[in-house]
């Protein structure tokens, strides 16, 4: 319940503080392509292998700027990672803890129960390292952006040279799917940037799909359970309605 409340607040905060300007402000409507993820539709499920690769990309690339405060390392078990793998991943970071018996703060290796470590100690440090821009927390970014995973995939693959007649402001980058088409974040992914243990080619499209899958899972880890429960409830209500109708016919069979 507490985790759900935190997620709801984070979504609201992301929408208010970090929501991009409406596309209508630029006098056009931006059409986000349908990427067709495995989790689309009422029977869709997460591609665990893709989500694991997405986490690897987040850890090696995105985590340099973006935090995920609502996730703990132990949550990665839901992606199919073993306890040993999760413990090893957590131990690669240093977490500030304390105070100790001498009243001093200290650093220790991360534990599975720790939240994902933030790349910056505070928002001011994050802005200072990014030319005044505050990188949004990615915990629920797939729910905080209209279009969800489709928008994230489009954004990551939408960088390019501006068309003729379009001037990009200093420090900005052209992206055909970002409202206004000018975004402060430089292209974060490039082909061959990450090496996957399963042999998957690290093309821009593959990496963007994997990151979008991971971020969708992070924002909605209970999606599969909720859908399964919904299907069970519909089946139960269907059977119940059939029984109720049969009983009604039986009771009123001899009525004139």
Q: What is the pLDDT of residues 223-248, one digit of tens each?
A: 999 999 999 999 999 999 999 999 99
pLDDT score recorded for residue 109: 95
Q: Is there a binding annotation on residue 207? A: no
User: Is it the case that residue 113 has pLDDT exceeding 90?
Assistant: yes
Structure token pair of residue 221: 């880890």
What would the pLDDT profile of 60-71 be if each residue is shown by its tens digit?
A: 999 999 999 999
User: Is it the case that residue 256 has pLDDT exceeding 90?
Assistant: no
As a residue count, the chain comes to 256
Q: 94 forms bridges with which residues in the sheet? A: 109
Q: Is there a binding annotation on residue 69? A: no
**Mean pLDDT, rounded, for 91-95:** 94
Half-sphere exposure at residue 2, Cβ-oriented, CA atoms within 13 angstroms: 2
**Mean pLDDT, rounded, for 176-196:** 94
Element (H, E) at 95: strand 94-97
**Mean pLDDT, rounded, for 36-47:** 94
Of 2-6, 12-16, 190-194, 207-211, which gets the smallest average pLDDT? 12-16
Percentage of the chain with pLDDT > 90? 77
pLDDT score recorded for residue 55: 98
Coil/strand/helix, residue 224? helix
Nearest to 152 by CA among 124, 128, 185, 111: 185
CA distances from 200 to 88, 207, 233 (A): 23, 9, 38
pLDDT score recorded for residue 6: 44
φ, ψ for residue 125, nearest 5 deg: -65, -35
β strands within 61-181, DSSP E: 94-97, 106-109, 173-174
User: Is it the case that residue 94 has pLDDT exceeding 60?
Assistant: yes
DSSP 83: H
**Mean pLDDT, rounded, for 122-141:** 93
Nearest to 44 by CA among 118, 140, 148, 129: 148
User: Is it the case that residue 250 has pLDDT exceeding 50?
Assistant: yes
Residue found under tokens 């292998």: 49
CA distances from 178 to 54, 125, 135 (A): 21, 26, 15
pLDDT score recorded for residue 1: 46
φ, ψ for residue 94, nearest 5 deg: -105, 125
pLDDT score recorded for residue 11: 41
User: Is it the case that residue 142 has pLDDT exceeding 70?
Assistant: yes
pLDDT score recorded for residue 27: 57
pLDDT score recorded for residue 131: 85
CB neighbour class for 139 (10 Å; exposed up to 12, middle 13-18, buried from 19): buried
Rounded CA gap, 208 and 205, in Å?
5
Rounded CA gap, 146 and 148, in Å?
6
CA distances from 205 to 61, 73, 121, 216, 221 (A): 16, 26, 32, 16, 23
Mean pLDDT of the chain: 89
What would the pLDDT profile of 8-37 be if each residue is shown by its tens digit?
A: 444 444 433 344 434 444 457 889 999 999
pLDDT score recorded for residue 14: 42
Dihedral class, residue 181 (left if φ above 0, else alpha if ψ from -120 to 50, else beta): left
Residue found under tokens 């650093």: 107
């Amino acid at each position: 319940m507490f985790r759900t409340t935190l997620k709801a607040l984070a979504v609201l905060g992301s929408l208010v503080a970090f929501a991009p300007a409406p596309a209508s402000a630029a006098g056009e409507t931006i059409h986000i392509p349908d990427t067709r993820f495995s989790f689309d539709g009422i029977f869709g499920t997460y591609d665990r292998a893709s989500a694991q690769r997405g986490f690897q990309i987040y850890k090696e690339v995105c985590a340099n700027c973006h935090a995920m405060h609502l996730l703990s390392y132990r949550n990665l078990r839901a992606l199919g990672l073993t306890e040993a793998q999760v413990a090893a991943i957590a131990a690669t970071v240093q977490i500030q803890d304390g105070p100790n018996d001498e009243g001093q703060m200290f650093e220790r290796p991360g534990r599975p129960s720790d939240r994902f470590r933030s790349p910056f100690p505070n928002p001011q440090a994050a802005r200072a390292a990014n030319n005044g821009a505050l990188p949004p927390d990615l915990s629920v970014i797939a729910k905080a952006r209209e279009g969800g995973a489709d928008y994230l995939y489009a954004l990551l693959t939408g960088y390019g040279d501006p068309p003729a007649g379009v001037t990009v402001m200093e420090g900005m980058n052209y992206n055909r799917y970002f409202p206004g088409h000018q975004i402060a974040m430089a292209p974060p992914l490039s082909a061959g940037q990450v090496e996957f243990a399963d042999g998957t080619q690290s093309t821009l499209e593959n990496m963007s799909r994997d990151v979008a899958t991971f971020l969708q899972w992070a924002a909605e880890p209970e999606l599969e359970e909720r859908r399964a429960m919904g299907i069970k409830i519909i089946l139960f209500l269907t059977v119940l309605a059939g029984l109720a109708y049969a009983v009604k016919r039986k009771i009123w069979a001899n009525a004139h």
